[in-house]
Amino acid sequence: MKTIIRLLINAIAVLVISQILSGVHIDSYVTAIIVAIVLAVLNLFVKPLLVLFTLPATILTLGLFLLIINGLIIYLAGEFVSGFSLDGFWWAVLFSLLLSILQSILQSVLKDD
């Protein structure tokens, strides 16, 4: 049940950010849910490999390269999901930064202890 709630929170965050940023376009609510699912799958399988392969760059930049990796994951999701488009890679990086901030705020508000 927590996984479904997290996916819905992520879908809401994706919708909110797409309304804020002019370079991110989402067609419908269903597309936002699909984007949340695709992001979860990419973060589960692809992101650990990218982090492992780019570990020297991540250490050299003191972790800032993880923003680029997150942007790449968002950009990949934009390529996989029709109805979700980004105007460029830097929009994906900005989207990932705002998504991380909004997710942490929403999950801290909705935390059940």
The list of the chain residues with pLDDT below 50 reads: none
Q: Print the SS3 string covering 35-48.
A: HHHHHHHHHHHHHH
Measure the CA–CA gap between 45 and 95, rounded to whole angstroms.
20
In this prediction, residue 1 carries a pLDDT of 84
In this prediction, residue 103 carries a pLDDT of 86
8 Å CB contact between 15 and 26: yes
In this prediction, residue 107 carries a pLDDT of 79
pTM, whole model, 2 decimals? 0.90
